[in-house]
Amino acid sequence: MAGPIYGQGYGPEVEATLQQLVQANPALAYELQRRALANPAANQQSAESVTTSAVDTPLGSDNQANAVGNAQAVGAAAVAPTQGNFDMAAATSLQQKPYLQLTQRLIDQARQRAGLF
């Protein structure tokens, strides 16, 4: 049986004992694996994270420069409606995108922002 029991770096003695336990009790090993997979929080190997949002453009996250570029592109598209002007306006338009962030980092950033006021 492969899965969460083998290859976890327990050491050769523990690995051998686990292998014997699994071979002697395959139903128990299967049930333990099934329960571990049924609870995603118990199966995570990384720090807890949350999905927040970030606002930027396809050209990058310098929103001040993108706002200026967007205003110029929209103005140029109104005066000279070329495909290039419309493309530049679309490329500098703000978009809200999902952003995966560690929970602790999000909390730390919120504390820093709160300290600014």
Considering the domain architecture, whether residues 58 and 100 belong to the same structural domain is answered as yes
Residue 71 lies in a domain: yes
By residue count, the chain amounts to 117
Which residue, among 3, 60, 9, has the nearest Cα to 33 in the 3D structure?
3
Considering the domain architecture, whether residues 54 and 110 belong to the same structural domain is answered as yes
Considering the domain architecture, whether residues 59 and 23 belong to the same structural domain is answered as no
Considering the domain architecture, whether residues 26 and 54 belong to the same structural domain is answered as no
List, in sequence order, every residue forming a beta bridge with 102; answer none if it has no partner: 49
Considering the domain architecture, whether residues 26 and 61 belong to the same structural domain is answered as no
Percent of the chain with pLDDT over 90: 1
pLDDT digits (tens, 9 = 90+) for 76-106: 888 888 888 888 888 888 888 887 888 888 8
Comparing 22 with 47, the larger pLDDT belongs to 22
Considering the domain architecture, whether residues 32 and 61 belong to the same structural domain is answered as no
pLDDT digits (tens, 9 = 90+) for 50-64: 788 888 888 878 888
Total domain count, the chain:
2
pTM summary value: 0.41
Torsion of CA 69, 73, 74, 80, to 10 degrees: 160
Whether 42 has a pLDDT exceeding 70, the answer reads no
Residue-number span of the structural domain to which 35 is assigned = 12-43
